Amino acid sequence: MNSIKYLKIITLVAVLPWHMSFAGSVQGETKSFDTIIKQVNKWAVSDSTLVVMDNDDTLTMMSCPDSTNTQTCQYLGGAAWYAWQEDQITHHKKPRVTENSTDLINISGLLFSLSNMAYTRNNVAKTLNELTNKGVRLLVETARGNGNVAATEAQFSQLNISKNNSLKNLISTNSLNFNQGEIASKASPYIPCENTSMRAITYQNGVMYLAGQDKGSNLKCMLDNYNAQQGIANKITNVIFIDDTLTNVESVQQEFSHSKEYTVLALHYTALAEHKLAFTQGNKAEEYQQVAMHRWYKIKAAMELSLLDPALPE
């Protein structure tokens, strides 16, 4: 009986039209940011629509111009590499870059500061530009923590939306502003809601740094706080959330499932699914892992040499 009921629920979610006009949430799947444009056009309420994006392996990724070339495809520091190292640490397997999760977070932050990013697909910049031209606002919800703000903003500054506009500028000028401000930031870090289970987060230039915390509850809190402000011309009523991690998508869908204020489409972004699996399960997985570890050892050796024998001032 339970299996039949579960099947009916899944089928209902699969066939519900994404242009629904009622409040609540629907979950879907896509391999392209083009889906976002199509949904925005169906809703036809651009000024009241917010597109919320995950960063790593959704909006941006570590550079991989040729996925068949293990020397030019960087996994080190990326989401697949981080998940692999977490598993190596948990199960005491080698190779691993450290012995505990705290050090892994610190190493990940260091690698962010050393790495440039690329868009996950060529049409991402074009899509974001088209969305903002329609009046849609943008928000990034990243699992990165408060210590990754500078590295993330540097990466976003290096990514062009157009000849004279960067990803950082596009998001910061088309996101959620507070207290009649001109910049989409809040004094940070801060506790987002009156919920003591939430740790301090950062909101700066249209990016929420959640340090691995729940994306559904944090998004709901952010939207409620934004819409509660006095003098808001266009409150957010429609939301598209896109993330490559299914648990985050499910969290958002569940958080808004009984909402009467918001209509939410939570999309599982699968464009990089094969790319991520290639690092741990593909026929070149061992080679990718060896290259990643070799690069880490070179970075570590260079840092140790610099610290042990610093250059003398001229």
Alpha-carbon distance values, 44 to 29, 38, 132, 164, 293 (Å):
21, 10, 14, 28, 48
Range list of H helices, the chain: 2-15, 34-43, 79-90, 101-114, 124-133, 149-158, 167-172, 215-227, 246-255, 273-280, 285-308
The pLDDT score that the predictor gives to residue 3 is 43
Q: What Rg do the C-alpha atoms of the chain give, in angstroms?
A: 21
For residue 218, give the nearest of 236, 203, 230 by alpha carbon: 203
Kindly list the averaged pLDDT for each block of 10 residues, start to end, along the chain of length 314.
39 44 87 97 96 98 91 95 96 96 94 96 97 98 96 97 95 91 88 80 97 95 94 93 98 96 98 96 95 96 75 52
Tokens encoding 72: 């030019």
The pLDDT score that the predictor gives to residue 83 is 95
Please name the residue that has the structure tokens 């499910």. Answer: 250
Beta partners for 25?
A: 264
The pLDDT score that the predictor gives to residue 309 is 57
**The three-state (H, E, C) secondary structure of 173-194, written as one string:** CCCCCCCCCCCCCCCCCECCCC
For residue 52, give the nearest of 154, 146, 161, 128 by alpha carbon: 128
pTM (global) more than 0.95: no
Helix (H) or strand (E) holding 266, with range, is strand 263-269
The pLDDT score that the predictor gives to residue 15 is 37
Please name the residue that has the structure tokens 């991520």. Answer: 276
The pLDDT score that the predictor gives to residue 8 is 35
Contact 145, 211 (CB under 8 A): yes
- Provide the pairing of β-strand 165-166 with 137-142: unpaired
Residue 35: other Cβ atoms inside 10 A = 19
Tokens encoding 93: 């397997």
